[in-house]
Amino acid sequence: MVRALRGLGQRVTSRIWRLGYASRFFLAILMYSGTSLRRLHLTIREIYFTGVLSLIIILVSGLFVGMVLGLQGYDTLQRYGSTEALGVLVSLSLVRELGPVVAALLFASRAGSAITAEIGMMKATEQLSAMEMMAVDPISRVVAPRFWGGVISMPLLAALFSAMGIFGGYLVGVQLIGVDEGSFWSQMQASVDFRQDILNGVIKSFVFGIIVSWVAVFEGYDAEPTAEGVSGATTRTVVTSSLAILAADFILTAFMFTGT
C-alpha cells in the first residue's frame, strides 16, 4: 500500500517536474528567438517544411470535411425547410471550430511528429552536442526557428482548410444537390462576423500552433537519444498535442462564444 502510494507520488512529482522543465524550455525559446527573427531565412525554411509540405493533407482533408458538412447539413436543414442556410452552417462550423481544430490535429500528426523526430535524431546522432561544442546554441539555431515556423504556419493552414471546406460544401450543396447559389453565398456573407467568427478562429489556430510547436520541439529535445526514445517522443508529441488542442479548444470556445 505504502509502496503503491509512493509510486503514485513519484509519478505525479515527475510529471510536475517535467511540466516545469517544459515551461522553462518555452521561456528559453522565447529568449533565444532573436536569431529566428534576425536570420529570417532559418524560419522561412521551417515554414516551408512544416507549412508548405503539409498543404496536400490540409487541402484534401478540408475539401472532404466541407463536402461531408454539405451533405449532413442539407439532410438536417431540409427537415426544417431551411436549406438556404446551408452556406451559413458550413462556414460557421468551419471558421469557428473545424478549421482550427482539425487543421491543428492534422498539423500535429504531419508536422509536429516530423519536428520531434528530426530534433530527436539530431540529439541521438550528437548533432546538437556538436553544435554546442562549436559555440552555437541549439535552442537558438535549431529549436526556435522550428517553433516559429510552426506558429506562423498553423493559422495559414487553418485558413486554407476552412476555405477549402467552404468550397467543398459549395460543390456538394450547390452543384450536386441544387441549393440556390445566391442564398448559399449571401446568407454566409450576412451571418459570418469578421471579429466574432473569423478573428476568433484565427486566434484559436494561433494558440494551437503554439501548443503543437512547443510540444513537438520539447519532446524532440528531451527525447532519449536512442531509436526507441525518438519513437516514443514522436508518439508523445501526437498524443499530448492532440489532447492539449482539444482541451484548449474547449477553454477558448467557452471564453469566445459563450453568451453570443
Partner 1 sequence: MDDPILLESPAVNLTGVPGVNMSQESLVEIRDLNFTYDSRPVLTGINMTIPRGKVVAVMGISGCGKTTTLRLIGGQLKPTSGTVRVGGQVVHELDADGLYALRRRMGMLFQFGALFTDMSVYDNIAFQMREHTDLPEALIHDLVLMKLHAVGLRGAHRLMPAELSGGMARRVALARAIALDPMLMMYDEPFAGLDPISLAIVGELIRKLNDALGASSIVVTHDVQESLKIVDYVYFVSEGKIVAEGTAEDMKNSKVPYVHQFVWGESDGPVPFQYPSRPYGEELMESGVRGG
Q: Which residues bind partner 1 (CB under 8 A)?
A: 121-122, 125-127, 129-137, 141
Judging by beta carbons within 10 Å of its beta carbon (0-12, 13-18, 19+), is residue 41 exposed, middle or buried? exposed
Taking the C-alpha atoms of residue 252 and residue 258, their distance in angstroms, rounded to an integer, is 10
Compute the distance between CA of residue 196 and CA of residue 186 in angstroms, rounded to an integer: 18
Output 1 or 133, the one with its CB closest to partner 1. 133
Q: Which amino acid is at 99?
A: G
- Minimum CB–partner distance for residue 97 and partner 1 (Å): 36
Q: How far is the CB of 239 from partner 1 (least distance, A)?
A: 27
Please report how close the Cβ of residue 137 comes to partner 1 at its closest, in angstroms. 8
Residue 17 CB, shortest distance to partner 1, in Å, is: 15
Q: How far is the CB of 169 from partner 1 (least distance, A)?
A: 40
Spatial CB neighbours of 103, under 8 Å, sequence gap ≥ 6: 58, 61, 62, 154, 157, 158, 160, 161, 162, 205, 208
3-state helix, strand, coil in the chain (%, to 5): 90, 0, 10
